[in-house]
Amino acid sequence: MDMLIKPSFLKGRLDIPASKSCAHRAIICAALAEGTSILSGVSMSKDIKATIDAMSALGASFEVNGDIVTVNGIKNPCKNAVIDCNESGSTLRFVIPIAAALGADSEFQGRGRLPERPIDIYKRELSKNGVEFVSGEMPYKITGKLQGGKYEIEGDVSSQFVTGLIFALPLLEEDSQIVLTSHLESRPYVDITIDILRRFGISVEENENGFMIPGGQKYTPHDEKIEGDYSQAAFFYVANALGSEVELGNLNENSVQGDKKILDIINEVCYNGNVSSYKVDCSDIPDLVPILAVLGAFGSGESVIYNAKRLKIKESNRLETTAALLNNLGGDVEVTDDGLIIRPTGNMHGGVVDSFGDHRIVMAAAVAASRIDGEMIIKGAESAEKSYPDFFKDYKQLGGNANVIVLE
């Protein structure tokens, strides 16, 4: 699907859809609790459906009615499971150790760039603790039952490995320890995990080396309203900084989501309708990089994004594709080893841009389109559905001029 967008500021009120990060975690916790949990406010994106399908394959059952998901937790885990993760890295990395903890011989399937996203940490650490990777490439096949013990995890690859183990290890009889061998990047995502686990009855003890997870714990059913997603709100906060007037709702002011940092950044660099420049460490907020780059492209000076090397293995090489997006529109963005340098040109014009199959590139492009001089065509705009299925519906309701076209 290709989308033609004509410049138009956005105006109105918008309730931000549920946090994908929170929804993934609540769905998994509810599925692991023996009993019924009701999750409300869930936005049914492709990634969230992948997690629901994964936990269904392991023995949970789900009833979806609009934005309400009723979860009946696993009573008798399936002994063999085929788990289709679609393109969701969160689903894959969260569920592998859970399946192993439940003793389910499992096959993990995926598509898009998911087969390229590394799971070497699991291959190494799970293999030390009772699990065999029968197939080292996707579709991954595992057999055996996970055992408690010591897990040495690099913190600067992806916090998803830490979260996956924190889900799984409480299910084991033995106590376990996660030892971080390098600085934990994207720490706020682990904070979200621990926060939601606590509400489902699971305790995790932090120490100077990582985390201690007592064994023999049981997940308890819990009804949860999923809070709004600051990573999605960020697109509209930046649109506002560039001249739009969107009032945002369904956001928790006390949220532990790391992407809430967008508010601090905008407050620091935007004043009286003008955007200055910034230098931002994105090690804890990698999802903000594309929209931060858009903000910088309309600034008054050189902006720098650093500590974002892990974006090379997202749905696209998100450093390269963010730069390509803005450079095709008259920007001057340089890719560095671990980030971007954005130099405003004052000449952002229309053009044809590629989504590269990446939902965050699509949404960043749409925000840029509201401010550039000329029309924009986004090729593959349907990629936004991965995390925000109603993005263009909401965009148009706010006055955005976006229409599907057919390119010859």
CB 143 within 8 A of CB 134: yes
Q: Residues for the chain: how many in total?
A: 408
The residue among 262, 284, 47 whose CA lies nearest residue 159 is 284
**76 and 103 Cβ atoms separated by less than 8 Å:** no
Sheet with 373-379, edge to edge strand ranges: 349-354, 373-379, 2-6, 401-405
- Indicate if 287 belongs to the active site: yes
d(CA 33, CA 60): 9
How far is the C-alpha of 22 from the C-alpha of 259, rounded, in Å? 12
Question: In the chain, what is the straight-line distance between the N-terminal and C-terminal CA atoms, in Å?
Answer: 12
DSSP string, 273-337: TEE---EEE-SS-GGGHHHHHHHHHTSSS-EEEES-GGGGGSSS-HHHHHHHHHHTTT-EEEE-S
Rounded distance between C-alpha atoms, residue 78 and residue 98, angstroms:
12
Residue 231 burial class via C-beta count within 10 angstroms: exposed 0-12, middle 13-18, buried 19 and up: buried
Identified catalytic residue from 47, 229, 284, 287: 287
Q: Residue 145, by phi and psi: left (phi above 0), alpha (psi -120 to 50) or beta? A: beta
Q: CA 74 → CA 61, 223, 312, 353, distances in Å?
A: 8, 16, 36, 45
Element containing residue 56 per DSSP (H, E) = helix 46-57
- Written as six digits, the tokens of 386 are 């991965």
| Residue 174 identity (one-letter amino acid) | E
**Active-site residue set:** 287
